[in-house]
Amino acid sequence: MRLLLADGIDPAEQRMQQKLQQRNDASSTFGVAANAWFEFRSKAWAKRTSAQVQDYLIKDVIPALGRRPLAAITTKELAVFTGGIESRGAPDVAKKARQWLASIFAFARANGWTDKDPVRDLRAVVLPSNAGKHYAHLRIEELPEFLIALDRADSSPLVKAATMLVLWTANRPGVTRTLRWSELDLDAGLWTIAKDREGMKRGYLHYTPLPRQAVEKLKEVHTLTGTFEYVFAGRNNPRQPLSDGAINGLLKRLGYRGRQTTHGFRHLISTALNERGFEADWVERQLAHGDPDKIRGTYNKAMYLDPRREMMQSWADYLDQLRATAISPHGRVIA
């Protein structure tokens, strides 16, 4: 203290500055900045958007970067992080993550927590998206072998059931993994997806007819998760839904990496239904393409519920036929 005073420094002032610096260092971690950004920005978002951003922050962004000082985060680190999201088959999530990272760092710079912008050059290591690119999916003739491999997979029955439900309904992966028991009427074979429900790309009300096979499988799943909110309850926390990488992870373990993604099933089903001669309007409505309020004709007619029910039952029966023809009398998959 004498030395400080001799140099014209007030010891009490120095201690206060040190405390302020410690507080500033704490607020300069990515996690604190991200949470402050979310609290500020979410006030202007729709409830659905806010829930989606919070979900991915909690599951992906904060665990990977939360404790990192803002000043220490590099472009290479962010490239590895977002690249990992893409490699699990979630390019849309990776794209949104890059957008959120840019916004979080801009918010942090505006608040004086950092002067760095590691997101600026991130685009240099990201391949531009191809608007016409489809998610990887199998050809119809490859389905029999896949169905047998899925049946025989030593994996979670919930992940396997969720995979088949995507195949039986053509619903989006995010909607399927977050399916709630309250949305199902198994007696009527109907899945009702409310307007603005998370996971729906444009937030339309959507009715999904359930084929007999799907109803039977869901009744089996009910014995496992019927007391929880979500049909496909999470492995680590059954009060949360299945993780968004669970099905793609199973596909990779089965040897279909780069050949089939969860979202790719929608392309496969669309192609198959159109080739089998079903009305294009029915197929598009089954895929939840286009706002039913704006489709020509009356609203009830636009939902095409009855013909879609027949169409998806026919599709589910066809999958059973493919599985049956893929097995020889000795139980071996026929090449």
Residue type, 284: E
What's the confidence (pLDDT) of residue 112?
A: 87
Rounded to whole angstroms, how far apart are CA atoms 235 and 155? 12
For 9, residues 6+ apart whose C-beta sits below 8 A from its C-beta are none
Rounded to whole angstroms, how far apart are CA atoms 255 and 96? 28
Contact in structure between 46 and 196 (CB atoms under 8 Å):
yes
What's the confidence (pLDDT) of residue 309?
A: 94
What's the confidence (pLDDT) of residue 331?
A: 45
Rounded to whole angstroms, how far apart are CA atoms 212 and 223? 18
What's the confidence (pLDDT) of residue 56?
A: 82
What's the confidence (pLDDT) of residue 39?
A: 92
- pLDDT tens for each residue of 291-320: 555 544 444 444 788 999 999 999 999 999
- pLDDT tens for each residue of 200-244: 655 578 899 999 999 999 999 999 999 999 999 998 899 999 988
The pLDDT of 88-114, averaged and rounded, is 85
The pLDDT of 72-83, averaged and rounded, is 91
What's the confidence (pLDDT) of residue 264?
A: 86
Residue type, 274: N
Of the listed ranges 56-60, 317-321, 328-332, the least confidently predicted one is 328-332
Domains in the chain (CATH in brackets) are: 2-125 (1.10.150.130), 140-325 (1.10.443.10)
Contact in structure between 178 and 228 (CB atoms under 8 Å):
no
